[in-house]
């Protein structure tokens, strides 16, 4: 793409606005500002123009300013209350006059477009490469109410310390990574980002959503905003208004119904496990712990691969009953182990003491087998508890157990 031709014909440059949809209202909350250039009656993307490192930063900033000014004018003219999300590379922000971008935004504020309606998108790669240069500048912008989004996050790695220091308002995640062959790694990174977002007061936005499955993934994994061709393509025909390609409310209702059904099945399964274990002999003392574990084994022989009993402090008072290759064996070496350090262990103990009802755990990876399992905990008395680990095969045969 000829940069000089573009600079000489800025009248052919128009913003293409891609809707960003709110998970709360199911309506368009704002737009990402992209660029298009009209050539021979066709609108060409300006992506290559902005990615070309040979094109001077001054050219890119001028084109960006032209695009954003038109987008602001359009939203003001149509009384659209949405925000505008704008992309800037590190070089555009820090080379030359680093106040230029802020001055431009304050000019838009004078038109009546509040600064808190601007979201500045910076890529995770730029944060990694230029953190020292960007850190103070981006935090300075935030003092004016300009919101910050970290884009292209969650790919190869996540720069948790740098992201925490910047305290962005939005973490943008590429939904197409759900098709990755290394999906488990992506989900681990996503879990870390979800925890980080909660701690710094940020929200997750999923972009590149191309089908209903990716939309479901975004909805199920704490997505606050949704964006992608499945919902709406970028359009430079601003006069035509905004319409979504799908009826989001009906899609979300389908997701809600599906999720409620899975939850109901897990509740029913929990009730069934609790009811079956009520047939066990009464708890007597630690000397009979192995006998009770053997009793429970016969009840869950086809579903469980490990059973054991602990006291309220987390100390294991029975051997493990462990199923390997279809046969049960006793593992004495774990008797006396203490599991109180495990996440949620003590909380579950205290909840069972209060309710006297069994509890089904979330899906998690077992330390020993590395396979996904669920554990059912059952109060044998106020101070002793039975734990039943369900096998990976049993869990995968039942969607309601395999999906959190």
Same domain, 340 and 224: no
Q: Per the domain annotation, does 252 fall within a domain?
A: no
Length of the chain: 404
Q: CB of 314 within 8 A of CB of 345?
A: yes
Same domain, 350 and 232: no
The tens-digit pLDDT sequence of the chain (404 residues) is 689 999 999 999 999 999 999 999 999 999 999 999 998 888 999 999 999 999 999 999 999 999 999 999 999 999 999 999 999 999 999 987 878 999 999 999 999 999 999 999 999 989 988 999 999 999 999 999 999 999 988 654 558 889 999 999 999 999 988 887 577 778 888 888 999 999 999 999 999 999 999 999 999 999 999 999 999 999 987 766 778 888 899 999 999 999 999 999 999 999 999 999 999 999 999 999 999 999 999 999 999 999 999 999 999 999 999 999 999 999 999 999 999 999 889 999 999 999 999 999 999 989 888 889 999 999 999 999 999 999 999 999 999 998 87
Find, among 381, 206, 221, the residue nearest to 311 by Cα. 381
Same domain, 287 and 182: no
pTM above 0.95, yes or no: no
CA distances from 44 to 89, 102, 139, 274, 309 (A): 20, 28, 34, 63, 66
Same domain, 232 and 273: no
Same domain, 324 and 226: no
At residue 228, the pLDDT reads: 97
Query: Into how many domains does the chain fold?
Result: 2
CATH code of the domain in which 21 resides: 3.20.20.450
Same domain, 171 and 275: no
Return the number of other C-beta atoms located less than 10 Å from residue 321's C-beta: 21
Q: Per the domain annotation, does 251 fall within a domain?
A: no
Same domain, 188 and 274: no
Q: Per the domain annotation, does 253 fall within a domain?
A: no
At residue 255, the pLDDT reads: 96
Range of the domain at 290: 260-402
At residue 243, the pLDDT reads: 81
Crossing angle of the two packed helices 100-111 and 57-77, in degrees rounded to 10? 20
At residue 240, the pLDDT reads: 65
At residue 344, the pLDDT reads: 87
Q: Per the domain annotation, does 250 fall within a domain?
A: no
Q: Per the domain annotation, does 397 fall within a domain?
A: yes
Residue that terminates a domain, selected from 243, 276, 295: 243
At residue 40, the pLDDT reads: 84
At residue 210, the pLDDT reads: 96
């Amino acid at each position: 793409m000829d940069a000089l031709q573009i600079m000489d014909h800025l009248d052919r440059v128009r913003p293409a606005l891609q809707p960003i949809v709110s998970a709360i209202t199911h309506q368009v909350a704002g737009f990402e500002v992209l660029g298009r250039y009209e050539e021979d009656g066709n609108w060409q993307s300006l992506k290559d123009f902005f990615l070309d490192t040979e094109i001077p930063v001054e050219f890119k900033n001028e084109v960006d300013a032209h695009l954003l000014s038109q987008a602001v004018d359009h939203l003001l003219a149509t009384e659209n209350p949405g925000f505008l999300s704008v992309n800037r590379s590190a070089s555009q922000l820090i080379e030359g006059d680093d106040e230029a971008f802020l001055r431009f935004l304050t000019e838009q504020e004078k038109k009546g477009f509040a600064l808190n309606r601007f979201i500045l998108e910076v890529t995770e790669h730029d944060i990694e490469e230029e953190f020292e240069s960007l850190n103070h500048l981006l935090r300075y912008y935030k003092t004016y109410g300009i919101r910050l989004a970290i884009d292209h996050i969650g790919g190869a790695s996540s720069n948790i310390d740098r992201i925490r220091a910047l305290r962005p308002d939005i973490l943008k995640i590429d939904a197409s990574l759900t098709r990755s062959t290394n999906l488990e790694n992506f989900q681990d990174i996503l879990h870390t980002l979800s925890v980080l977002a909660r701690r710094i007061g940020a929200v997750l936005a999923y972009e590149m959503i191309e089908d209903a499955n990716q939309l479901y993934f975004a909805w199920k994994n704490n997505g606050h905003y949704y964006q992608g061709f499945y919902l709406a393509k970028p359009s430079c025909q601003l006069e035509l208004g905004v319409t979504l390609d799908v009826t989001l409310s009906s899609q979300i209702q389908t997701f809600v119904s599906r999720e409620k059904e899975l939850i109901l099945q897990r509740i029913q399964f929990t009730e069934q496990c609790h009811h079956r274990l009520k047939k066990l002999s009464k708890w007597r003392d630690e000397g009979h712990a192995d006998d009770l574990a053997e009793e429970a084994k016969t009840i869950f022989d086809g579903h469980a691969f490990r059973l054991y009993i602990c006291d309220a402090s987390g100390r294991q008072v029975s051997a493990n009953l462990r199923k390997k290759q279809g046969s049960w064996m006793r593992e004495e070496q774990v008797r006396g182990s203490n599991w109180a350090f495990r996440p949620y262990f003590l909380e579950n103990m205290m909840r069972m003491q209060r309710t006297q009802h069994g509890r089904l755990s979330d899906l998690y990876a077992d330390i020993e087998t590395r396979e996904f399992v669920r554990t059912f905990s059952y109060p044998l008395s106020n101070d002793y508890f039975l734990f039943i680990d369900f096998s990976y095969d049993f869990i995968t045969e039942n969607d309601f157990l395999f999906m959190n």
